[in-house]
Structure formats: C-alpha cells, structure tokens
A and B are shown apart, each in its own frame.
Chain A
C-alpha cells in the first residue's frame, strides 16, 4: 500500500491558463495499492485540477503532442528510456512534475512509476 504522496506541480508556457492561471500547485495524491505512475497522475490532474479544454492537455493516456514534460527539472524522455530498459524498478526522487508548452516532444509510452523517496 503506497502512502499518500505530496508533490509539486508546475504549469508554464501558457499551460497554466488551463488551470485557472495558477502556475504552481502543491498536491497530495491519495494512497493506493499500486505506486503512482505518470499515467495515473495525468488522469488525477485531469479530474482534479484541469479547469477547461482537456483536449489541449491530454490526448489518449498521455499528454497532447507538443507539451513538454520535466520531472525533477529533467526531460522525461531521459527517464522514459531508462524505464523502458528497467521497467518499473527504478526509485525516483519525485520533487516536481512540471508541464510546459509549447514544444515538440516525443511523449508516447509512459513507463515511469513514482515511489515516494525514503
């Protein structure tokens, strides 16, 4: 059972307009049996934070093409490649999850699983 997880979310480059113009959010994800992953986080954001035009933020089970995602101030593509290799085994210190537009970004396939840092 994963404990509640506190994370900082930051939306920038215009993405904040979809969230009432608020750039920084500190949220607590509820506890659940499985560890949180980015796919679940996106669904949670869509249900709890997103205020308008969800089609501009998500597409399918990922972010819309053109949205840039950073995890701990690093390109999530770096992590995707690692996680693709190591499946869901990596422990990742999760401080911030940042979504920023506009850019082009390969964002298919989210393999990250988020564990709370010990």
Chain B
C-alpha cells in the first residue's frame, strides 16, 4: 500500500536484488539452484536429498529389486543419442542407507550403424572405459554387432529360416521362452530379504572389479548389421528395428550373465515420447509394458525403470551439479522418423505448456495389459503378446509395417530372422 512518507527514490539496483531472491522451498535458508516446478526452487543440498529419496522410494514402493541383488543396467537418454554417464543410479547405490543393489552398467555401442570409423569407435571405447574405471564400477561394453555373433546363437535352431515355419513349430528358446517364475517376488519375501540384508550387510553382494571389454567383432558381422539396417527404407522402421535389436541383445546378455533384473534408464520425458510414438506406430497394446515400472514380458528377466519419475531436466541437473562424468555417442540421423518428430513435439509442448509431459506420462499408469492372451502367443520381434488370436502371422501390426518397409522383402526378413536368433 502506498505510504505518504515512503521513499520511492532508492536505487532498485541494490545488492538485495541479486540474481536469485527466493529461498529454497525446503530448507528455507539457502539460495535455490534448481527450479523443478513452478514455485518450487531447490537449493543444491536439498535437491540432492530429494533426488536420492525419490529413487529409493521408487525401488522401495515397488519391491521388485531385492536388497543386494545384482542388476544389469542400461541407460540411454534419447532416441538417437546415448549419453553414457556414470548415472545417478550408481552414485545412489553407493550412498549410505541404500539397500545395496549392485548394478553393472551395460553400454551398447552402435558406431557401425552411423558410419563411424574404426578409430573413432575405439576412441569412444577408450573414453567409456576410462570413465568407468575411474569410478570403480564394473562395466560391460558390448558392440551392437554382437547381436549376430556366433555366441548369440548357442541355443538357436538354424533349421527354421522363415517366420511361418516357426509358427507351427516350437518357438526357439533364446528370447521367446518364458521360464517358470519363482514366487520370490512377493511382499513377504521382500521383507525377509530386507531383514537379512540389514542383519548382515557384509554379506551383500559387492561389486566385483571384473570388467568386460568389448569383444572383437568381425567385419562380417558389422557388414551384416549394416546391410540389415540399410535394407529398411524409412527412418521410422529403422529406429524400430534398432530398438528391437537392442532389446534382444540386452535380454540375451542379461541371461548369459545370470542377471534377473534389467534396469533401464528411461525417464519421464522419454516415456512420454515413447507412449505417444507407440500409439502412432500402432503399438498401443504394448504401451503398458513399454512405459510401466516393471516389464515382465521376458519371464525370467524383469526390466525395471527406476528413473521413470524423474524428468530429463532433473537428471541433467543432477549430472551437472554433482559432476557426473559422461561420454556422448551419436546415434542414427533420423530427423523425419515418427519417433524423432514425436520427441520434438513433446519438447515443444513442454516449453509452451509446462507439466504436459508429466500429464502424458501419468496416462501410462492407467494402462493395463491384456492378460487374457495365452503366453505362447508372443510376438517375435518386440516380444509382446499378439493382438490377434489367429495364427495368421507372428507379427503384430506395427512389426508388419516395419517388415514392409524393408527394401528386399523376403531376403531382408530372412536376414532379420537370422539376427534375432530364430
């Protein structure tokens, strides 16, 4: 209110108006550094606490990862680019009070697909190796070509070269088998596991210092992979194919190494993009699996997304403020793919209408699976259940579109069958 004697002549450029005048919404003492939501600025210390608490709460609430359990983890930020960082997950796993799940970072290199020279790829390998060695975390670097390496096919049946034959024969046991699940995931056993872990923390699995170097991949495999990817006409189908190959390789490596959990680095922003692009691609029925906290489509290996409540902004801030090192790897250049356009759309939407991304992401909560489908009817490529009961084809609608976009038709499909280990 105006006062008669009020002094309006003071210099408003006083030091009181330094860059940030508000205080942290939590401690109400320190100067804020991060604005997570409108009106909720956090200082550096409170942001750190908030970030770690959120991660622990997510794991504790869902009770899927047991204390001391070995977890295979794979992190990538965006559709096309991988920012390989010693993700916050690992620093949190080390922090006191965490239930000590032990993650092994898994880095998948796709340099061959983007035409990078061998020297460049070796340089990237070296950078990643140095990055993880400096932190002491065990790690595992796998080139994407390994999806076609001989070791991948140790359980495969080569006799079946066409999808149709496989329909009427028993499906191969590599990625399509759903082993019997033990009942160890129930809440009571989780409590028992927590109790045991608290009683004897020294018995918890400690990260071993063994590190797996990227295996040497022959040129033949590189060429095969490049041919397969280039046989796809559209960028959209290429992205889809790459994601499928990633999925297969991840699952395969997890099984070989004996990991029961696969920790993915999907964040809220990424899941919003995935949800919308899945709908655009005709994968609406698979969206619940692709965006939920846990993905049990593989049976013996459960994929979890503990970072799904974090926005990309929060993760980027954490990585920057707490000096999390990273290595940037370029991906496929596919500007005009549905996935990239959806990503661009969501980003712009967030700019104009904040909180929209969270709104989209929360829609994933209300999605449910079609549980009535028999387990044997699994889609070959994306490993989801078939939408149609009739065995007209083993491909879902979206995968049919992907195959349709392959240049050489049946030949390319045969190559794909080879790659996915059928």
Interface residues of chain A, those whose CB is within 8 Å of chain B, are: 12-14, 16-17, 65-66, 68, 70-75, 77-79, 81-82, 86, 89-93, 98, 100-108
Contact = CB atoms under 8 A, between A and B. Distances in A.
B371 interface: no
B168 interface: no
B311 A82 contact: no
Interface of B: 12-13, 15, 17-22, 31-35, 41, 77-78, 81, 83, 269, 311-313, 315-317, 319-321, 326, 328, 330, 346-348, 350-352, 354, 357
Given A86-B12, A104-B351, 12 more contacts: A13-B316, A17-B328, A68-B316, A68-B317, A73-B33, A74-B19, A75-B41, A78-B41, A89-B12, A92-B19, A102-B312, A106-B350
A71 B298 CA distance: 45
B320 A102 contact: no
A110 B309 CA distance: 29
Contacts, number: 108
A28 B83 CA distance: 31
A104 B352 CA distance: 11
A81 to B, nearest CB: 8
A79 B20 contact: yes
Nearest to A71: B19
Nearest to B44: A73
Q: Is the interface of B mostly helix, strand, loop or mixed?
A: mixed
10 contacts: A13-B328, A17-B328, A65-B351, A66-B351, A75-B35, A89-B12, A90-B13, A91-B13, A103-B313, A104-B311
Contacts of B21: 82
A77 B35 contact: yes
Nearest to A83: B19
Contacts of A16: 328
Nearest to A65: B351
Given A66-B347, A103-B312, A89 B13 contact: yes
Contact of A13 (B19, B83, B350): B83
A53 to B, nearest CB: 11
Nearest to A107: B351
Nearest to A79: B19
B328 A105 contact: no
A92 B326 CA distance: 30
B19 A103 contact: no
Nearest to B34: A75
